[in-house]
């Protein structure tokens, strides 16, 4: 798996499914005894006219995309997760023998913006 394949997989498995699952949960909360908070959110969402439900879906999509982008920035080493004094922090993501987030080529977060 190379960088582009990795990012495409993340878009499908993480981004798309997170948005879909969130909208499904709002539309029909899962389980016999759904969480009270989710029921309240679902009732509110279903009370909205379709145009406003579409806006909520857009907001969910934007939030998920921003989260995935931020995580890829962390993996690329351009968004620190440790204090600035810790220069030894170096995350290496490997799949098999391939280093997916090597800093010598295009960053994952840049690929994400373009796939």
pTM for the full model? 0.86
Q: What residues form DSSP beta bridges with 95?
A: 98
**Radius of gyration (C-alpha) of the chain in whole angstroms:** 18
- Per-residue pLDDT of 61-81, as tens digits, reads 999 999 999 999 999 999 988
Angstrom CA distances, 85 to 49, 76, 77, 89, 92, stand at 50, 18, 14, 10, 19
CA distance 102 to 95: 12
Domain boundaries, the chain: 3-27+34-114
Mean local confidence (pLDDT), 34-56:
97
Tell me the three state secondary structure of residue 103: coil
Give me the pLDDT at residue 81, please: 84
Q: Give, for 69, the enclosing helix (H) or strand (E).
A: helix 50-76
- Per-residue pLDDT of 13-30, as tens digits, reads 999 999 999 999 999 999
């Amino acid at each position: 798996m190379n960088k582009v394949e990795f990012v495409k997989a993340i878009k499908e498995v993480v981004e798309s499914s997170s948005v879909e699952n969130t909208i499904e949960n709002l539309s029909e909360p899962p389980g016999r005894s759904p969480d009270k908070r989710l029921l309240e959110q679902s009732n509110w969402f279903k009370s909205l006219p379709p145009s406003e439900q579409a806006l909520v879906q857009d907001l969910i999509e934007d939030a998920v995309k921003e989260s995935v982008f931020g995580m890829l920035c962390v993996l690329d080493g351009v968004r620190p997760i440790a204090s600035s004094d810790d220069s030894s922090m170096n995350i290496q993501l490997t799949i098999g023998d391939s280093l997916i987030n090597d800093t010598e080529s295009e960053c994952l977060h840049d690929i994400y913006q373009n796939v």
